[in-house]
Amino acid sequence: MINSMTGYGNAEGRIGGTTYIVEISTVNNRYFKPTIRLPETLSFLESDIEKELRKDVSRGTVNYMLRQKGAPAESLFEINEKALTTILKRLGKIAPSGGLQRELDMSGLLALPGILSPAVPSGKEAQRIQQKVLMVTKQALKGLKSMRAAEGEALSKDLEKHCTAIKSALKQIQTRSTAGPKQYAEKLRRRVEELLSVAKLKLNDETVAREVAIFADRADISEEIARLDSHLVQFAKGLKGTGMQGEGRKLDFICQEMLREANTIGSKAADSDIVHLVVDIKCRIDRIKEQVQNVE
């Protein structure tokens, strides 16, 4: 079955007193476009997380967010005590000579370049965090895939409904197209006989047959009907496929070919009922194209 590109999954895991929470949401996009939001202290995980996302998502906009809860302050940031001490000493020397009596603003001091920086874990601690975060990411991806599969199933049913309606309209077109030349011949004969009755001339059957043959060849839509029917068969196979990644691109291409054949049928058809049926088919193909944009 096909998979939708719309989905959501979340999971969490703990190391000591720190909880790591992962949320992943996806929406449709022609390409794989990840947006990964991490705490500064865990920015070293970005490439590993993207690799994990690519394993399960072939295309779509992927919004990934990792949050920490309950992390101790010392694991979030580091203070460059040596630099801060140097600044305080220099300010202490300047203040008396300059007559400065203002109290120091600690938040202003911490905002100075090089004083406050993210506490990046190293060694075994970094490895532990990496393993935990990737494990939680896989759990969130499992939930995401489950939701995308459920959405894909609902999407498939809607697409099948439109394909069935197109097949029904195509059968009606095929029935009417076979009667077209005969109806045209009768209409042409009546019209010409009306015009020739005034001049008291007889209609040449050979001439009528030649004109009808030309009309039949020009209005022949049997090939277009066969191709459109073949595209519908291929489309149905795609909907019931293995759910392989990138199936949406194939379905989108088939939709373009379906619309091409429908346009040709509409331009060649001389029957107003066929034209009306073609309009309905094109409306349904447009609806299918819109829905297919959300297929992975």
Q: Which two tokens stand for residue 119?
A: 């506490």
Is pLDDT above 70 for 169? yes
Q: 147 in helix, strand or coil?
A: helix
In a domain? residue 258: yes
Across the range 208-231, mean pLDDT stands at 71
Write down the pLDDT at residue 62: 97
Do 2 and 294 form a contact (C-beta atoms < 8 A)? Answer: no
Q: What is the DSSP string of 5-70?
A: S-EEEEEEEEETTEEEEEEEEEE--SSEEEEEE--GGGGGGHHHHHHHHHHH-SSEEEEEEEEEES
- Residues 12 and 91 reside in one and the same domain: no
CB 288 within 8 A of CB 255: yes
| 231-286 pLDDT, tens digit each | 999 999 888 865 555 688 889 999 999 999 999 888 877 777 888 999 999 999 99
Residues 139 and 14 placed together within one structural domain of the fold? yes
- Look up tokens 């929406």; give the residue: 27
Phi, psi for residue 44 in degrees, rounded to 5 = -65, -10
**Same domain flag for 270 and 190:** yes
Task: Out of 71-80, 148-157, 163-172, pick the least confident.
Answer: 71-80
Specify whether 264 is located in the same domain as 287. Answer: yes
Residue 2 domain-assigned (yes or no): no
Which pair of structure tokens corresponds to residue 110? Answer: 């911490």
User: Distance between CA 92 and CA 84 in Å, rounded?
Assistant: 12
Contacts of 166 (CB under 8 A, 6+ apart): 228, 232, 258, 281, 284, 285
Which pLDDT value is given to residue 247?
81
Q: Are residues 224 and 139 in the same domain?
A: no
Structural domains in the chain (count): 3
Task: Categorize the per-residue pLDDT at 100 as very low, low, confident or very high, splitting at 50, 70 and 90.
Answer: low
- Within the chain, what is the greatest distance between any pair of CA atoms? 128
What is the domain range of residue 59? 7-74+122-149
Report the CATH number that the domain containing residue 265 is assigned in CATH: 1.20.140
* Rounded CA separation 181/220 (Å): 9
One domain, residues 170 and 224: yes
* CATH number of domain containing 137: 3.30.230.70
pLDDT > 60? residue 192: no
Task: Report the C-alpha gap between 31 and 57 in whole angstroms.
Answer: 10
Query: Does 49 score more than 80 pLDDT?
Result: yes
196 and 264 together in one domain: yes
Q: Sorting pLDDT into bands at 50, 70 and 90, what band is 213?
A: low
